[in-house]
Amino acid sequence: MVQLKRSYLFPTYTKFPLTLVKGRGTTLWDDQGRAYLDFMAGLAVCNLGHVPERVKARIELQLEQLWHVSNLFHLPIQEELAEKLTTLSCADRVFFCNSGAEANEAAIKCARRYHQRVLGNDRYEIVTFEQSFHGRTIATLTATGQEKVKDGFFPLPQGFAYARLNDIDSVRSCLTAHTAAVMLELVQGESGVRLAEPAFVMALAQLCREEGLLLIVDEVQTGIGRTGSLFAYEQYGIEPDIITLAKGLASGLPIGAMLGQERLSEAFSAGSHASTFGGSPVAMAAGLATLETLLEDGLAERARQTGAYALERLRQVSQDAPAIREVRGLGLLIGIECSEPVGPIIQRLHESGLLVLAGGIDVIRFMPSLYVTCEEIDQAIGILSQVLAERQREAGEERYHWRA
């Protein structure tokens, strides 16, 4: 448990009362030696689990060679990871940065500059979606379709409009002569694991083609095998103009990437955008080892199978758990919508040895390592069932005492 009398950190996080000191695979240990089943994976970052051996070995090798020089020099390891990402996706070019917010910032800038400097028009507006989440920079929090992240940061930059997910007419109503792009999460993780419908996504892609708009797919949370394919867009039958990645790409080292099609390279020409630490050799080494491991071990397919198993088991459990309203998800990005705020439930789950987090007010998110086993899924669901049953029993006892 945390014993600090005074913290020197800005209090920007409401922290759980745990001090975690070690992790391996799907297990974390606190400073008291207690083990926890980790279904958070560092906010969908540790897709290979904690301290994966092949990634660790690649990082250690790189640490003996080169840590940082500058992006003003050729770095073969950058080219190697960029080539792998483009080979595996529909993209042709990559810009490396340090986080998902930076990747989305780059996507916004690239879309604007492509229209203004390459196509020669004055388009700059980006359509995003209500309940979306795209980051914490001033531009990406403005792109985010949630008012709570904007509180106290006004005035916000112009150029963003917000449509309703799965409503193509709502998107059309947001379009103007200045619209440059549409930015979409195929699964809205932060607001409760809300999935884009395939028919809507196909209609959106068609609308973008008809209107000359760039389609940006934010895969910061859904990418790198999390949803049952290397990229979630592959399951929707589309080819985005821009894809953004971060979380799972380097197994916990800071990284971000904006992937784009060839025609966008003229917009991101020399001097148009930069990142001092983006594409650092150590992060590139971690990214390469992460992708190689994921592909060699077939983890995307494994996530599809174990995710389907988890969804089926959770839906079975929900039939006898009145507190669960709905279970939804894609691969190993799963939301359990409850009939009450989930904060107290999550606290009880942590006390019972299962680490999870919320997605909005009333949704519990399951996001374990892609190596998670069906036995570990059963263990997690057993803990959840027990906690919900205890709360239901306690609520019944409270009503009984009140009536008495």
Q: Indicate if the pLDDT at residue 387 is higher than 80.
A: yes
Token look-up 């973008």 returns 208
Q: What is the pLDDT of residues 325-341, one digit of tens each?
A: 999 999 999 999 999 99
Instruction: Give the model confidence (pLDDT) of 246-266 as tens digits.
Output: 999 999 999 999 999 999 999
pLDDT at 192 over 50: yes
**pLDDT in the model for residue 402:** 41
CATH numbers and ranges of domains, the chain: 20-51+298-403 (3.90.1150.10), 66-296 (3.40.640.10)
382 contact partners, CB below 8 Å, separation of at least 6:
none
Lowest mean pLDDT among 359-363, 364-368, 395-399: 395-399
Q: Which residue from 349, 348, 346, 368 is spatially nearest to 357, judged by alpha carbons?
A: 346
| Distance (Å, whole) CA 12 – CA 142 | 19
The angle formed by the CA atoms of residues 351, 352 and 353, to the nearest 5 degrees, is 95
Q: For 267-298, where are the alpha helices, taking DSSP H only?
A: 281-296
- What is the C-alpha to C-alpha distance for residues 393 and 384, in angstroms, rounded to an integer? 14
Tell me the C-alpha distance between 162 and 130, whole Å: 6
**Measuring CA to CA, which residue among 265, 108, 284 is closest to residue 181?**
108
Q: Provide mean pLDDT across the span 204-229.
A: 98
* Residue 171 structure tokens: 């998107």
394, burial (CB in 10 Å: exposed 0-12, middle 13-18, buried 19+) = exposed
Q: What is the mean pLDDT of the chain?
A: 96
pLDDT > 90 in the chain, percent: 95
Q: What is the pLDDT of residue 396?
A: 73
Single-letter code of the amino acid located at 330: L
Q: Decide: 300 and 333 in contact? Cβ < 8 Å.
A: no
Residues 6+ positions from 85 with CB-CB distance below 8 Å = 91, 94, 245, 257, 259, 291
Please determine, for residue 216, whether its predicted confidence score (pLDDT) is greater than 90: yes
Count other Cβ atoms within 10 Å, centred on residue 90. 16
State the average pLDDT over residues 187-206.
97
Helix, strand, coil share (%) of the chain residues, nearest 5: 40, 20, 40
Tens digits of residue pLDDT in 279-315: 999 999 999 999 999 999 999 999 999 999 999 999 9
Res 5: pLDDT: 67
CB of 332 closer than 8 Å to CB of 307: yes
pLDDT for position 173 = 98
User: Residue 138 contacts by C-beta under 8 Å, 6 or more apart in sequence?
Assistant: 153, 156, 157
pLDDT score, position 292: 98
Provide the pairing of β-strand 194-195 with 187-188: antiparallel
Whether the CB-CB separation of 231 and 243 falls below 8 Å is answered with: yes
CB of 321 closer than 8 Å to CB of 178: no
CA distance 356 to 364: 7
